[in-house]
Amino acid sequence: MQRGQGRSDRRRMAGGRLMVKSTLPPRFKVSSAPRFKAVEVKTNTGRHRISPRKRGYDARWDRLAMAFRRTNPYCRFCEQEGRDSLADVTDHILPAHEYPHLRYVWDNLQSLCSFHHDNLKQKLELYARKNGLLDKLVEWSADPESRPVHLRPIPK
Ligand SMILES: [Zn+2]
């Protein structure tokens, strides 16, 4: 009891002394310092922000992917559309996530331009996953006419 009273007296005194200063806006904000850290944390969250190394893309993959593209320099999907575009992605036809034993298998690879890899191939994978048709990706990748109607190339 006595202690409590003592504390409240001190607080009151301190309050009284700081009264004039406290009407001014604070000059410092303790929480403003680590703003850059919040950004750093954000970039490391989310499924697609995991580093390639952690997803299993190691030195062995780098060598294989480069060798594959040297042998197959053009985008497979662009070729199917009658164009020759240099590929910049070596793609797993059957995704390595679901088919880890095919990660380093040459016949499971195809060269794609980043546009086709990031758009059409992602759509094909998404559709295949949703409908339990992942094994169809082999056929869909080889023959555009075999793809679900909405994912076929637009006829010229
Ligand atoms: Zn392409």
| Domain ranges across the chain | 50-151
Find all residues with CB under 8 Å of 133, minimum gap 6, and list them: 127
How far apart are alpha carbons 65 and 59 in whole angstroms? 10
pLDDT at site 148: 95
| Average pLDDT value over all residues in the chain | 80
pTM for this entry = 0.66
Q: How far apart are the CA of 69 and the centre of ligand 1, in A?
A: 13
Q: How far apart are the CA of 125 and the centre of ligand 1, in A?
A: 16
Residue 68 CB-density burial (10 A; 0-12 exposed, 13-18 middle, 19+ buried): middle
Helix (H, G, I), strand (E, B), or coil: what is residue 3? Answer: helix
pLDDT at site 18: 45
How far apart are alpha carbons 40 and 114 in whole angstroms? 26
Q: Count of H helices and E strands in the chain? A: 7, 2
Q: How far apart are the CA of 59 and the centre of ligand 1, in A?
A: 25
How far apart are alpha carbons 93 and 107 in whole angstroms? 9
Q: How far apart are the CA of 13 and the centre of ligand 1, in A?
A: 75
pLDDT at site 156: 64
Q: How far apart are the CA of 146 and the centre of ligand 1, in A?
A: 18
Q: How far apart are the CA of 123 and the centre of ligand 1, in A?
A: 14
Confidence bin at 62 (pLDDT 50/70/90): very high
- For 75-143, the DSSP string reads -HHHHHTT---B--EEEESS-TTT-GGGTT-GGGEEEE-HHHIIIIIHHHHHHHHHTT-GGGHHHHHH-
Q: How far apart are the CA of 122 and the centre of ligand 1, in A?
A: 13
Q: What pLDDT, in 10s, does the model give residues 96-140?
A: 999 999 999 999 999 999 999 999 999 999 999 999 999 999 999
Q: Count of CB atoms within 10 A of residue 124's CB?
A: 21
Confidence bin at 50 (pLDDT 50/70/90): confident
Q: Are 131 and 147 in contact (CB under 8 A)?
A: no
Q: How far apart are the CA of 111 and the centre of ligand 1, in A?
A: 9
pLDDT at site 55: 72
* 13 or 89, greater pLDDT: 89
Closest CA to 110 of 134, 131, 130, 80: 80
